Amino acid sequence: MNKQKTRTILVIGSKSDPVIQFFKRQTKQWVCGEVDFHYIYQDGFSESTHLCDKSWWFEDQASLRHDMVDGVWNRMVEPRRTKLTLCQEMEAFAIYLMNSVYPKVLNRPMAGLSNQAKLYQISLLNLKLIQKIDSIMAMNTTPNHLGISGKVIYKSASGVRSIVRNLMPNDRQRWITEPVLFQTQIIGENIRVHVIDDFVIACLCRSENIDYRYAQKTEMRRVELPLLIANECIEINRQLGLIFTGIDLILRDNTYYLLEVNPAPGYAYFDVDGTVSRQLMDYFARKPKH
């Protein structure tokens, strides 16, 4: 019987990324000879880590040819803040490799670009059961000029992480200097859904804050979605050309509402039982579909 080849998987991102470090700790708990994860950190680009058209090579003289790579987890969520031209060129070339050369990339950088304009991202989706929320993006105006009324929340309109806040009466005359996304506030149960290929993992997040990520106390537990809702979450991934996402839903009166889709989810916060990490590893252990 032939021994199964160990799959070589790159994890590319910042060394300070808590998601990468959480995943690294999780994988140490499992013995799996099918996957060999190589962590490549942007922090070392042009210093301890180098790149050319044939391979990566590192300060310990080790090298890794591009044709040996079986898959990549793209965690290059933002460029390194540096004026070093060589570092910037390496990042640009790494993005090219993930977009056009490497197989089985989760997620390809070009597929995540829709998140740079959240309202545009939502407009791309053709939904059947999950409902879209009334939303408006604006700048160089005030909420009053927009005619916004009722209970409304607001947040960054781009992929930049921001705190979700209620629009208060004293905010309505404030001048908006950068793109802001306003959405009708839906009072209900917050559910974060992680989709990995065709596997769905849902987590209920309950707190007193409008943005549970910044609450002092948040109750989190795994929940099962109705099959048709779970399948539509998988379909959301496919429509956006993504494989791994964090989909934010609100459940009210048996109706699910879509807030946004995160193409580089900070899943560690929600992985209450290790299931997401395990599914990520299993995904890379599988051979690509033909």
113-130+186-279 architecture in CATH?
2-Layer Sandwich (3.30)
So what's the pLDDT on residue 211? 60
Is residue 145 predicted with pLDDT exceeding 90?
Answer: no
- Distance, in Å, from the CA atom of 106 to the CA atom of 129, rounded to the nearest integer, reads 26
- 61-71 tens-digit pLDDT: 789 999 999 99
Region 125-150: what's the mean pLDDT?
Answer: 84
* 123 or 80, which is more confident: 123
Percentages (nearest 5) of helix, strand, coil residues in the chain: 30, 30, 40
Tokens 């506030």 belong to 185
> 180 CB contacts (<8 Å, ≥6 apart)?
137, 138, 139, 154, 155, 156, 157
What is the per-residue DSSP string for 57-112? EETTS-EEEGGG--EEEEE--S------HHHHHHHHHHHHHHHHTSSSEET-GGGG
Read off the tokens for 198. Answer: 């065709």
pLDDT classification of 1: cutoffs 50, 70, 90: very low
Region 77-102: what's the mean pLDDT?
Answer: 88
- Distance, in Å, from the CA atom of 245 to the CA atom of 107, rounded to the nearest integer, reads 9
Phi/psi at 229 (nearest 5 deg)? -70, -45
State the amino acid at position 222 in one-letter form. Answer: R
CATH number given to 7-106: 3.40.50
- Distance, in Å, from the CA atom of 209 to the CA atom of 217, rounded to the nearest integer, reads 9
So what's the pLDDT on residue 210? 66
- Distance, in Å, from the CA atom of 38 to the CA atom of 24, rounded to the nearest integer, reads 10
In this predicted structure, which of 51-55, 163-167, 258-262 has the lowest mean pLDDT?
163-167
Query: pTM of the entire structure?
Result: 0.87
Phi/psi at 236 (nearest 5 deg)? -60, -45
The winner for highest mean pLDDT among 143-152, 178-187, 253-262 is 253-262
Region 239-256: what's the mean pLDDT?
Answer: 96
- Shortest CA distance to 151 belongs to which of 172, 179, 132? 172
What is the per-residue DSSP string for 145-175? HHT--SSEEEEESSSS----EE--GGGTTPP
- 5-42 tens-digit pLDDT: 789 999 999 999 999 999 999 988 776 668 899 999 99
